[in-house]
Structures are given as C-alpha cells and as structure tokens.
C-alpha cells in the first residue's frame, strides 16, 4: 500500500494507488467490490475516484496518428549507412555461418592445415634430381683420383686384387 492522499489523512481512506487502479478499471473483481463498498460510505474517496475516472475516459479518445508508410524504409536507409563494407560483403553468407558455423569452421581448419602441410619444403633431396657439386669438391675428387693412379702405378701387384675405381 502506498498511502492515503495528503488531504485525506485524518480519516480512514482508500490507498491512492488503489484509487488510481480502480479508476483505470485494473483491479480484480474482489478488490473492485471492496473499493465500491468504501466509496459508498466515503464522499472524499468517491470524489477522487469519479474525477480520475473522468480523466481516464477523456484520455481514451486521444489516439495517435498512423505511422508514416515510409518509416521502415527511412530506418533501413540509416542502418545501411552504418553497416561496414565487410559486413555487407559477408551478409549473403551469414545464414550459413549462423546455421552451420561449426562444420564450416572445422572444414576451414582442415583445409588450412592441409594447405600448410603441402607447402612445407621437404628435408630429403628431391628424387631424380642431380646433386649439385661445387668446383672445389670436383677439384678435390680429381686430385684424389690422380693420387690413386700414382699409387697403383707404384704397386702393380696389388692392382689385380683391388676393384677398379
């Protein structure tokens, strides 16, 4: 209960919030009957209730104008101005993300991982390719071959038992 109106504090009167609800016809049947009984015996509260009901009914006739037919169009124009180009670009695909977000994300991750693995350079030499030899390595090999030739000339007996280089 909120309290009685200031001008009615010296007697037992109906609560002001109850009177507002009574005038607005928002009370349930039991409460309405109780207030009705009180109003029969209380001219002060009856005066307030009748006056407020008159106000309520006068306000009933105050209707607002219909909303302009282009209200929505104007609103969406304003919204469109604020939407970023990225959002606009993604808009056709948004339902896919909303409904199938998880499967799409999983597939995208899988493709990404596969792509990374395919692009990764292998440690092993490429099969069928010729190994690259530097000039220094070739020169060193030739020198070693020359030394072996010299050595085989010096030891003809050992030559028949060793595999030819």
Residues binding another protein (CB under 8 A)? 2, 5, 16-17, 19-20, 23-24, 48, 50-52, 54-56, 58-59, 61-68, 71-72, 74-75, 78-79, 82, 91, 94, 97-98
- Output the CA–CA distances (angstroms, integers) from residue 12 to 44, 47, 64, 108, in the order listed: 10, 15, 40, 76
Question: What is the CB-side half-sphere exposure of residue 125 using CA atoms within 13 A?
Answer: 6
Q: How far is the CB of 4 from another protein (least distance, A)?
A: 10
Residue 118 CB, shortest distance to another protein, in Å, is: 33
Which tokens is 41 given? 């015996």
Query: Least distance from C-beta 35 to another protein, angstroms?
Result: 15
Longest dimension (CA), the chain: 148
Q: Answer yes or no: are the C-beta atoms of 27 and 18 closer than 8 Å.
A: yes
Q: Please state the closest distance from residue 37 (CB atom) to another protein, in A.
A: 21
Nearer to another protein, 31 or 146 (CB): 31
Decide whether 64 or 135 has the Cβ nearer to another protein: 64
Beta carbon nearer to another protein, 97 or 151: 97
Alpha-carbon gap, residue 77 to 81, rounded angstroms: 6
- Euclidean distance between CA atoms 3 and 16, whole angstroms: 6
Looking at the Cβ atoms of 74 and 149, the one nearer to another protein is 74
The residue among 56 and 151 lying less far from another protein, judged by its C-beta, is: 56
> How many Å apart are CA 35 and CA 22, to the nearest integer?
8
In whole angstroms, what is the distance from residue 39 CA to residue 51 CA?
13
Q: How far is the CB of 33 from another protein (least distance, A)?
A: 22
């Amino acid at each position: 209960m909120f309290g009685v109106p200031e001008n009615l504090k010296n007697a037992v009167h109906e609560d002001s919030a109850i009177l507002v609800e009574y005038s607005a016809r928002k009370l349930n049947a039991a409460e309405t009957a109780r207030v009705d009984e009180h109003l029969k015996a209380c001219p002060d509260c009856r005066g307030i209730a009748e006056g407020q009901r008159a106000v309520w009914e006068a306000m009933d006739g105050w209707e607002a104008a219909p909303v302009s037919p282009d209200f929505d169009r104007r609103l969406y124009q304003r919204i469109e101005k604020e939407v970023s180009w990225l959002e606009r670009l993604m808009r056709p695909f948004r339902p896919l993300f909303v409904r199938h977000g998880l499967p799409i994300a999983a597939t995208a991750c899988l493709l990404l991982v596969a792509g990374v693995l395919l692009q990764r350079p292998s440690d092993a030499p490429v099969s069928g390719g010729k190994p690259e030899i530097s000039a220094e390595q070739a020169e060193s090999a030739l020198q070693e071959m020359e030394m072996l030739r010299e050595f085989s000339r010096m030891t003809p007996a050992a030559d028949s038992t060793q595999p030819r280089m």
